[in-house]
């Protein structure tokens, strides 16, 4: 397969109540069949929901500071830190000052919301497909 350039004009933006996800590379953009790469931007004071992905992901903090609760552990990230999240781990991402991440993971990953410790119906997030 030849190399594929995805122009910045071809990125896809998905806004949620907790962050803005900018898809940088994914199967629906062409060029990759198994990987997804996206930027997650959170404003100061934002906190995502508890959820779990069925695939491993790597979160790299480009700007700001963030806290990621992973199962029973709390991890504080500073600019330049990377956190690898195992498949199936329950997590919640939050920031007091704002944060910008670049995230990679398998394109076929699905997320399950967690409520009272119980996983809900899995969904395929638009920014990963």
Q: Which structural domains are found in the chain, ordered by start?
A: 19-119 (2.60.120.10)
Residue with tokens 């109540």: 17
Tens digit of pLDDT per residue, the chain (129 long)? Answer: 689 999 999 999 999 999 999 999 999 988 899 999 999 999 999 999 999 999 999 999 999 999 999 999 999 999 999 999 999 999 999 999 999 999 999 999 999 999 988 889 999 999 999
Instruction: Tell me how long the chain is.
Output: 129
Write phi, then psi, for 31 (nearest 5 degrees): 95, -25
Token code pair at residue 37: 């790469």
The model's pTM is 0.94
């Amino acid at each position: 397969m030849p190399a594929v350039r995805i122009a910045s004009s071809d990125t896809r933006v998905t806004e949620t109540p907790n962050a803005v996800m900018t898809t940088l590379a994914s199967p629906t953009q062409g060029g990759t069949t198994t990987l997804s790469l996206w930027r997650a931007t959170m404003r100061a004071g934002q906190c995502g929901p508890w959820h779990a992905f069925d695939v491993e992901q790597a979160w790299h903090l480009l700007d700001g500071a963030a806290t990621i609760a992973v199962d029973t552990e709390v991890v504080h990230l500073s600019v330049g830190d990377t956190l690898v999240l195992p498949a199936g781990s329950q997590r919640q991402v939050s920031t007091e000052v704002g944060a910008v991440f670049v995230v990679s993971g398998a394109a076929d990953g699905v997320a399950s919301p967690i409520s009272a410790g119980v996983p809900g119906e899995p969904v395929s997030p638009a920014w990963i497909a």
